[in-house]
Structure 1
Amino acid sequence: MASPATTQTVRPLDTLRFDASGPPQITSVVTDHLRLLGARPDRPVHVDAPAVGTTLAGGGFAPAHAAATWADPASGLADEATVQAATGLMAVHGRRDGTPRGLAVDYAATATAVLAVQGLLANLVGQARGAAPARVTTGADRAGLLAVSQYLAAAGADEGEAAEIAAGGPPFTSADGIVFELETLDPGAWAAFWKALEAPADALRTGWRPFQFRYATACAPLPAALHTTARSHGWDRIRRAAAASGAEVCALRSLVDRAAEHDGAAPWSLTPSTARAAASSGSVRPAGAVGGLPAPPAAGARRESAGPLAGLTVLEAGRRIQAPLAAHLLGLLGADVIRIEPPGGDPLRGMPPACSGISARWLALNRGKRAVEIDIKAEADRGRLRDMAAHADVFLHNWAPGKAAALGLDADDLARVNPALVHAYTSGWADRLDDAPMGTDFMVQARTGVGEAARPDGEPPAPSLMTLLDVLGGLLGAEAVLAGLLLRERTGRGVRVDSSLLGAADTLTGPALRRAARGQNPRRPAGFRYPLATADGWIAPADADARAAAGHDLRGLPTAEALSRLREHGLTATAVTTELSDLHHDPRFAGSIGRDAHGAPAVPDPWSFV
């Protein structure tokens, strides 16, 4: 077992070495992150193996092994395109267009790489706390299912969606050709913005609901009059209307723009506390007795876990997706997660559609967590929260910038009551851009070139209405917390951990940004990852076989026959999932998707530890 107090350690993987092999889409992210965390390669990285294999060794730890595959070979899923097709990523991303669409970025591969690093870090944290080493496995198919888990949960709910699922949505275009995103969480600001631009009253009224719920539905069938209104005004007028109303607008930036300003920063930062804790993991009270509070009931079924984080306590004050997903992953790894909710409980518990009276989408991110209601506006309740933090291992939040400090709950504040605490902040921008707009998924996509990277060359840029960055940001947030926990075990000090949607965007678009920096076209070629229509559905060929597959006219053939024809010619392809509810019975994921205690669909844990 490693010593928890290796005083020379500056980064969590200092003095460790690794070797890795596998597909470059996955391996490149794994090796980048291991290097950023302090590990050094033992030998050149091999990128020609069919599956990723990574081993970390040194620093007093037993070797930690991680393996990542595209999927079970029997499933026929062999690369990014086929995984996107089968897991529903193409279906959800394509809702804005009305047909399945492939993401031109390697989203499933990137998520898989982050999950593999999480598994390695969790393994080492477990070892440092006395657990036996384990081999971790994950797969891109699991990563894809995790990414669509909220949409899958909604598809299997007891009632319909909160808003119509139909083609349409932002971005908007000004009279002088500026393509832009609009953001506001306030219906009053929405109305004031469109009134200032003289939009028809009925259009701004009927447009609010699909705009408000686009995070949930991945589409926004807005009245055409709103797009017409935007096109009738110049960009300066639109910006003035936004400033006067309290809404925000952001012109879509190109990948070339983002590459030129990219600072090369890691997707997270780890800052050790100046305070020192003699025995970090030993100072934590058993789960259920945090701050002397009784153990409230969990949301949904709660498992007894023997995962590598068993015995650790995470306090999560999160909203929407990013921080709740990060805490959810830590819970799957064995931590006891206590969710801090406002008086009356999280209002998103009631967001339709529901399963047994609780939002299916909320359950996808929060099942298994316990909840405590805290009024952070009241000093007495902030004192309760500080007392809870004094006996916790992690405090995780995604409040607005500056809010934690204003409440006296920032990293320095909580280090005074718990020097061993890992204080984790999942933000939009991590204070890295001076002119940053509101730090929400679609605004970050617009500002960082994701809207261009997600679509192949020749198509107008458009941020995906699937919450790409919130999900990937949650994955990076969990990875950063695990790195912070490992650093704490090796130094005996608490750690401030910062991650962001900006870090998620740069991780996702990394290959495109590197192409742009070399003066190459950063976008994938025209037609990249287009599914092919059949008589009764769609199929997606593997990327390597796409050009040859496009030469076959499959529109008159049923999907099964179309797949057989391509396979007869030695081409790899799979059926595109168009209805997420069909995933329950899909033989490509046999036994993978279950239901929780409320009847909501639940995807499998993204890793296995053996």
Structure 2
Amino acid sequence: MDVVRSGVAADRPLAGTVVRALGDSPALRVAVRRLRALGCAVETGSESPPDGAPAGWLGVTRLPFTVTGGALPECRIGWSGPVAVPMAGEHDVQAACGIMQVHGRAAGGPRPLRVDYVSVCAGVLAVQAVSAGVLALLRGGPALAAATSAAQAALLALTQYVAAATAEPGPCSPGPAGSAGYGAPLFRSADGVRFEIETLDAEDWRCFWTELGAGPAAVATGWPPFQQRFATATCPLPTALGTAAAALDYRTVRVVAERSGVSVLPVRAADAPGLLPPAPASPWRLRGQVVTGPASALPPLGPHDRAPLAGLRVVEATSRVQGPLSGHLLGLLGAEVVRLEPPGGDPMRGVPPMAGECSARFQALNRGKRVVEADLKSAPGRRAALRLVAAADVFLHNWPPGRAARLGLDHEALAAVRPCLVHAHAGGWADLLPEPQPLATDYLVQAYCGVAALVGGPGEPPAPTLLTLTDVLGGLISAEGVVAALLARSRTGAGVRAETALVDAARLIRDATAPHGRGDATRTGAEVGAVAVVTDLAEMAADPAFSTALDIGGEAVYSRAPWTFVPATAPLWLENTR
């Protein structure tokens, strides 16, 4: 149920706000569309963007709840940002910041990702910055001017890979690209259907391939690279597995998969009929809740605080990439993030390569979070979780459908102890597929939603990139939805639900690609000019040109926050527009 108070609907928390947009780039176009979805009226101007914003500028010119004429939130979008390498577009950023290196690992060398991916990520980051700036004003804080860039978006997208490349050597280093079979997850059945598979369980893997007729040696050899492909961006499988799949029609493969507990989906063409249903009315599925008692206000923000979410608490119960990245971004915006983990800690903490006593990849998304261990399947563990939620502003999880209810920690249970809670779910398939849904992982979503057909080179068969596209963008969208929900809570006084999914990331990549063709991302290597293509992430991390964009002080290297915030001033050149 949506809640409307003071003329503001929960799914349009920036209603009445006017934003001016200057410039033209894929990042700016993405940001403008998403600001309009939040309820903003966006005006475009013919002026050039200010210095430091070659990819565009967004400036709030009117807020319905503050006096006009003073400084208001703004965001400058660059290409290079703090990276001391001149970049002038998507292709340059992909080359200089390692996107091509990771995307091309499975093929044996750097290659362009043929969608404007880092521009899309930068556009979402810009919306987060503007929305967080408005939230800071609502909480009594200062007007903040933000800056972000496509380079910072790219480094954030690669933070796990950079961490792994700069940590202690371990078994999760990239294997031989393209060797022994296939370097990207793609199979073809006897009747010509290309398909992707997924399982997180070694026994299910064994049962599936054994029933398809693969020999035990090939099955055993294939499991480690398949399991580690999320970390290494390579997947050299024995050719015997592809041969076993190619001997059977797709229907038989599906039947075997269902018996084995393995998820199988076709790799669909970019123009497949009915590929994705219409987008939801709110890109974050924001829904307000009815509260019976007085609503508590969000904690105030200090007048000199530059972190827009400072003083807010997020309780997070997440795993893998999408959910932890969402919580990580909220922490980088200033929130205190409390992570719920099982007794003994998240098993991913021990996955090499290690940075000291913890996995480098795990640290890339979870450093700085406070940890509370609780067995959520037990009554004491659930009570501990509810106590945390009772003092929180946000609860974030990425559990599969039905788990929250089974644990007794669904929205209704949490709203009973915290009526004004922002309840955020970073999901997978949303309503795209019926129950029981397949595993909601990056490569299945790429395959089924047509992204796999957009990322490869000309004439290549559709295949997902092993760079985790939808996981990362899904995490960004989830954090964007949380900030939007906090805006709605602040303006309506009611609790808000925000439900995002990996399929939303796939839709955004497709929508940003389709209207403008393949755009800047398709330039050939000869057109890069002076921008060198990164071939080694560890060397990139050691390059002084990246020192201000990377955190290099620990046992591994991580990306820094993808924005900067400073006090805003009313720019003289826009005086007449406000």
- TM-score exceeds 0.5: yes
Q: Which moved more, 1:427-436 or 1:335-344?
A: 427-436
Contact 2:28 2:55 survives alignment (8 Å): no
Does structure 2 retain, via aligned residues, the 8 Å contact 1:281–1:393? no
What is the distance in 2 between the residues matched to 1:325 and 1:271? 23
1:101 touches 1:529 (CA, 8 Å); kept in 2? no
Structure 1 partner of 2:296: 280
Mapping 1:30-429, distance limit 5 Å: 30-43=31-44, 50-56=54-60, 57-61=62-66, 63-72=72-81, 75-162=85-172, 164-167=174-177, 168-257=183-272, 261-265=276-280, 266-275=282-291, 278-282=294-298, 307-429=307-429
Aligned residue pairs total 543
SS for the counterpart of 2:498 is: strand
1:8 counterpart residue number: 7
Question: Contact 1:277–1:494 (CA<8 Å) still a contact in 2?
Answer: no
**Contact 1:276–1:494 under 8 Å retained in 2:** no
Alignment-derived partner of residue 432 in structure 1: 432
Q: 1:577 aligns with which of 534, 550, 553?
A: 534
What is the rounded CA distance, in whole Å, between the counterparts of 2:292 and 2:17 in structure 1?
Answer: 23
Q: 1:160 offset after TM fit, Å?
A: 2.4
Aligned partners of 1:351 and 1:359 also within 8 Å = yes
Matched residue type, 2:322: Q
Deviations 1:461-501 (A, max 9, x none): 11011111100000000000000001111111110110110
Instruction: For residue 104 of structure 2, give the secondary structure of its aligned residue in structure 1.
Output: helix
Shift of 1:21: 2.0
The offset of 1:259, in angstroms, is: 5.7
Mapped contact 2:162–2:541 kept (Cα < 8 A): no
CA change 1:356–1:587 in 2 (3 A) is closer
SS, match of residue 28 in structure 1 = helix
Instruction: Please give the residue correspondences for 1:495-506 in structure 2 after superposition, counting only pairs within 5 Å.
Output: 495-506=496-507
Structure with more relative contact order (C-alpha pairs < 8 Å, separation 6 or more): 2
Q: Aligned runs of 1:547-562 on 2, under 5 Å?
A: none
Report the residue type matching 1:606 in the other structure.
Answer: P
When residues 596 and 354 of structure 1 are mapped into structure 2, their CA distance, relative to the original with a 3 A threshold, is same
Q: Which amino acid letter does the alignment assign opposite residue 123 of structure 2?
A: A
The answer to whether the 8 A contact 2:54-2:77 is kept is no
Aligned equivalents of 2:72 and 2:306: distance in 1? Answer: 20
Q: 5 Å matches for 1:464-503?
A: 464-503=465-504
**Paired residues of 1:267 and 1:507 also in contact (CA < 8 A):** no
Q: Where does structure 1 lack aligned partners over 5 or more consecutive residues? A: 287-304, 516-521, 533-540, 543-571
Alpha carbons 1:21, 1:51 under 8 Å: kept: no
Q: Tell whether the 8 Å contact from 1:169 to 1:222 is kept in structure 2 after alignment.
A: no
Tell me, yes or no, if the aligned pair for 2:58 and 2:75 is still in contact at 8 Å: yes
1:324-349 residue CA offsets vs partner (Å, 9 max, x unmatched):
00000000111000000001100100
Cα distance 1:340–1:596, how it changes in 2: closer, same or farther (>3 A)?
farther
RMSD: 2.4
Which residue is 2:525 aligned to? 531
CA, structure 1 residues 352+46, in 2 after alignment: closer, same or farther (shift >3 Å)? farther
Q: CA deviation at 1:380?
A: 1.9
Matched-pair contact (CA < 8 Å) for 2:116–2:512: no
Matched to 1:376, the amino acid is L
Report if the CA contact (8 A) 2:276-2:449 is conserved: no
Q: Which letter maps to 2:80?
A: A
TM-score by length of 2: 0.89
Match of 1:452 in 2: 453
- 2:522 aligns to what SS in structure 1? coil
Alpha-carbon deviations, 1:424-446, whole Å to 9, x = none? Answer: 00000122333753211111101
Separation (CA, whole Å) in 2 of partners of 1:452 and 1:152? 27
Q: 1:145 to 1:74 in 2, by over 3 A?
A: closer
Q: Does residue 1:595 correspond to 2:567, yes or no?
A: no
1:127 CA displacement? 1.2
Q: Structure 2 counterpart of 1:407, which letter?
A: L
Higher mean alpha-carbon deviation, 58-67 vs 398-407, is at: 58-67
Following the alignment from structure 1 to structure 2, what is the Cα–Cα distance between the partners of residues 418 and 172? Answer: 48
Q: Is the 8 A contact 1:395 1:423 kept in 2?
A: yes
CA deviation after TM superposition for structure 1 residue 603, in Å? 1.4
CA distance in 2, matches of 1:258, 1:34: 29
Q: Distance in 2 between matches of 1:13 and 1:423?
A: 19
Distance 1:370 1:219 in 2: 33
SS of structure 2 residue aligned to 1:425: strand
Shift of 1:260: 5.2
The normalised TM-score by structure 1 is: 0.85
CA–CA distance in structure 1, aligned partners of residues 553 and 430 of structure 2: 35
Pairwise CA distance, 1:282: 4.9
Give the superposition deviation at 1:169: 3.1
Q: CA deviation at 1:306?
A: 5.1
- In structure 2, the CA distance between the partners of 1:118 and 1:105, relative to structure 1 (3 Å rule), is same
The 3 A distance-change label for structure 1 pair 221 and 262 is same
User: How far, CA to CA, are the matches of 1:204 and 1:529 in structure 2?
Assistant: 40
Shift of 1:45: 8.1
CA contact (8 A) 2:133 2:144 kept: yes
Q: CA deviation at 1:587?
A: 4.5
1:402: how far off?
Answer: 1.3
Structure 1 match to 2:180: none
Q: Distance in 2 between matches of 1:17 and 1:402?
A: 40
Tell me the residue number matched to 2:573: none
User: Secondary structure, in 3 states, of the residue corresponding to 1:96?
Assistant: helix
Instruction: Check 1:431–1:393 CA distance in 2 against 1; reply closer, same or farther (3 A cut).
Output: same
Counterpart amino acid of residue 278 in structure 1: P
Instruction: Name the amino acid aligned to 1:592.
Output: A
Partners of 1:306 and 1:124 lie apart in 2 by 12
* Alignment-mate amino acid for residue 557 of structure 2: P
**Structure 1 residues 524 and 136 mapped into 2: Cα distance closer, same or farther (>3 Å)?**
closer
> Which ranges in structure 2 are unaligned for 5 or more consecutive residues?
178-182, 567-578
Distance 2:111 2:231 in 1: 18
Deviations 1:398-443 (A, max 9, x none): 0011111222212222111111100000000122333753211111
Deviation at 1:42, TM superposition (A): 3.1
Cα distance in 2 between the residues matched to 1:259 and 1:282: 42
1:264-296 Cα deviation digits (max 9, x unpaired): 324311101111563534579x9xxxxxxxxxx
Q: CA–CA distance in 2 between the matches of 1:444 and 1:229?
A: 24
Give me the whole-angstrom Cα distance separating, in 1, the residues matched to 2:225 and 2:184: 8
CA contact (8 A) 1:280 1:489 kept: no
Structure 2 residue matching 1:213: 3-state secondary structure? helix
Partner of 1:609: 565
**Which residue of structure 2 lines up, in the alignment, with residue 561 of structure 1?**
none
Q: What one-letter code is carried by the residue in structure 2 that aligns with 1:462? A: A
Percent identity of paired positions between Structure 1 and Structure 2: 44
